[in-house]
Structure 1
């Protein structure tokens, strides 16, 4: 149990401080612990921080609550991963509404080269279940992570098919990792821990609420390179996930269905509105995601100079993960370097010919 981890958990508990505000505060002040140790008057000078938020941030009660959460995590084998932690999934980190903290349980890793989300109706037909299994089996050569929501229907079929075919699979939950919902999926959830696991933004002990399910869909979309919708009615969680995935510039694919089948309406509509590709085969998916080139084509990277300072080295490592450029605020968040120090260090790296500044406060390595 580290002091900084307690402050990270406490930050999530503060009313009015969501992921975006927390990100902004850390960009200004450097760490979660420094936020709570900053005087109220100084906090109020930060853009967007009002009297109520500043008052809440100087309360010590959140640390006691955070300590209980961390103790629960340790007892249950659940890992609390903060946004700036190395273990935080890279894909998820770069969505605009990424959770401040995720709670992960299981032996698998979320930061895989290939990851596909498979979602659909809870009232899956025999055809939908069969197609789900066929998709999973055809993906075996590519060894992707399979992500879904542990719900009835297509979700649980995807998890079980992944287990049957020795693929890693993660269930994104709308509850704590110790509250399996629906409870009839406990056995499957426990099997998933061996090679994959469970992930949620909710602390241990949290019971599912209706509003949590749409929110967890953004994590399903954020963790994956592509979302495949197998069966969906004209409304439902699968379509919400598809909409979110499109907003994150993820690829969305849908299985077309019979015109008279109500659980094909959503898929057909996505295709009709050009919000999804038609899923035809694992090979076409691999081509769409450039998986067929991943093993044979290696990106050229600039060689990091050995003489860089510790701060410059952190900046370099973060820039290297974003070859097309990264915003100053995001870079500050990822490195936990306050913006005024970061700007100075970036200027030095630019003078030395290692970094290029782009329009809109974006920066990238020169390769």
Structure 2
């Protein structure tokens, strides 16, 4: 019996110890408003823990006044003197601060974004007028509506001011927007694969074309007898046809206009539509040939063609720089060096598909 009580005492002590050291959050402050603000389990302070999952998502011990603190929504709260976001005190005007039902965060002086330069602190949306700032178009689907806003002077995309006219501006799909006078490219990232990075820009590209607007898919828009897209290396392409009889979506980046296939904004009038296959970095192929940015790569073998970088590819006989053969390059030994943009095959060094002076051996 004595042994039993000793074991029980040890178990209780271990349980209490685990609870003391591991349990960080206690009761929610107001679980009807926020599932992320809690009273600390042991200390007299407020804790922000995303959805209460502090073990996986972490938690933050706030310096908010415990007695007066109340959550505004999941991540915002305030006490008698300050506004808090994710438990951190924010530099805003306390008396006029508000987060409205559309997600706009503002006070009398500024409109704010949660994607500020400093992590976990609000950033100011430069130039935005807090009095007139509002959603661009409430009829947009949710995933687009939260990205587009306007005030009396400008249109804002993901908290960045654009050149768009706020009275007539309209995003058409993921790539193209228009207003009364211009066509705009919507650029979310530049580069491909591991080289991709986010930019979130809306760029004025072209005078507005006359004609009826038809959204082909999330990438292409038909305006009159022209088709436009932004998903190209030039970040805007316009293909004009004598007449457009039909448009057909193949996939997100590919459509067929009349009998011409367009892939990532590049027209491939020679390509076999039925056997078309997109590859990486602007390459594609059909049953007859391999192409780079719309140009056929003469001499490339379809069966063993291999892309080795954004600019280089090879088969069992040749190395290709974009759509041309890199003369004298050995495909079996061709590899990148530690030098910027320099490749070698054990005999020669290459830059932009050309041999550099001086042999390796």
Shared fold, TM over 0.5: no
For normalisation by structure 1, the TM-score amounts to: 0.21
Specify which structure has the higher proportion of strand.
2
For normalisation by structure 2, the TM-score amounts to: 0.21
Greater RCO, 1 or 2 (C-alpha within 8 Å, sep 6+): 1
